[in-house]
Amino acid sequence: MSEKQQKPKVPVVVSLISGGIAGGVEASLTYPFEFAKTRAQLRHEPGVPSPRNPFAVVLKTYQNEGLRALYKGCGALVVGSIAKDAVRFMSFDAIKNSFKDHETGALTPARNMLAGMSAGVVASIFAVTPTERVKTALIDDARGAKRYHSAGHAVRLILREDGPVGLYRGFAGTTLKQASATSFRMGSYNIIKDFQEARGIPQNTVANFVNGSIAGVITTLFTQPFDTVKTRSQASTVTTTAEAVKSILKDGGIAGFWRGTIMRLGRTVFSGGILFTTAEAVSKILTPMVGTVEDIQA
C-alpha cells in the first residue's frame, strides 16, 4: 500500500464521541426489538405460549401492558450504549492503530477481528455488564414482581441486596458475548469496508448502512448463544452463569441457546446500519475540527 493510500489515524476523542452518539441513537431507535428479544430469552411459565415473532411480542406487550412497557429498561440501555460504544469505538481504533503494519498502514483481517475482540472485553468491564444487568432485571421484573420503580431504584436495590457484585452478575456470559460480538461486528465491518475501498467502491451513507447491516447479521448468528446465557444470568432473580446454562438446556435443549435469534436479527440488521452510519457521519464532522484545534495548539 502506498503512502497515498494510507488511512489517517482517527483521533481518540473523535472515536469516543462518535461512538457514544452512535450508540445512543441506535439504542433509542431499536429498543422495542431488544425488549422483545429479552422477553423471549427469559424463563417461561409451563403451558403458557410464548411467541417468537418479534412483532407478536411487541403487539402482545402493547395490548396487555401499554406503550410504556415496551420501553421498560430503555434508559439503562441507552446510557449503557452511549458508554459501551464510546469505549468500544475508542478502544477498537486505538488497538487497531497499534496492530497496523508500521510501514504500509495495512491491517489483516485476523488483526481486525482481534482488535474487535479486545475492544469488546474492555467495553464489557467498564460499561456493558452493569447496564445490561439493570436493563435485563427491569424487563424481567416488569412481567412479575414489579419491585423496581426505575433504573436508579433497581441499582439501589441490587446493591443493597447483592452488593457491587450484583451489578456484575452474568459477567462471564456478557464478556464472552461482547468479545465475540465486537470482534465480528467491528472486525467484519472494517474488513468489508477495506475490501470495497481497495476496489474503488465509494463509502457513502448507503454503503455504510449496508455494510453495518451485514456485520450485524454475521454478529448475531455467531454470538446468539452468549447473548442468551447473558440474559438468563442477569434476570431479576440471582442466577449464576452455570445455572443459566443448565436452565437453557432444560427449557429448550441445544436449540434454546439460539432463542431470540429472529428478534435479535430484527434489531441488528437496523442497529448495525444505524450505528456505523451515525458513527461515520459524526466522525467526518469532528475529524476536521479536531485537526484544526491540534494544529493551533501545535
Q: Which domains does the chain have, with CATH numbers?
A: 3-297 (1.50.40.10)
What pLDDT score does 51 carry? Answer: 59
* Mean pLDDT value across the chain: 84
Higher pLDDT, 140 or 203: 203
Alpha-carbon radius of gyration of the chain: 20
| Residue 297: count of CB within 10 angstroms of its CB | 6
Q: Which three cell numbers stand for residue 14?
A: 473523535
- The yes-or-no verdict on residue 144 having pLDDT over 80 is no
| Residue 57: count of CB within 10 angstroms of its CB | 23
- The yes-or-no verdict on residue 296 having pLDDT over 70 is no
18-37 average pLDDT score = 89
91-100 average pLDDT score = 87
What pLDDT score does 291 carry? Answer: 62
Global pTM reads: 0.73
Q: Which residue has the cell 457491587?
A: 164
- The yes-or-no verdict on residue 236 having pLDDT over 80 is no
Share of the chain above pLDDT 90, in %: 33
What pLDDT score does 293 carry? Answer: 52
pLDDT band at 158 (very low <50, low <70, confident <90, very high): very high
Is residue 102 within a helix (H) or strand (E), and if so which, with residue range? Answer: none
What pLDDT score does 86 carry? Answer: 94
Q: Which three cell numbers stand for residue 138?
A: 427491569
58-71 average pLDDT score = 83
What pLDDT score does 233 carry? Answer: 82
- The yes-or-no verdict on residue 44 having pLDDT over 70 is no
Q: How far apart are CA 167 and CA 7, in angstroms?
A: 40
- The yes-or-no verdict on residue 206 having pLDDT over 90 is yes
Share of the chain above pLDDT 70, in %: 89
112-130 pLDDT tens trace: 899 999 999 998 998 888 9
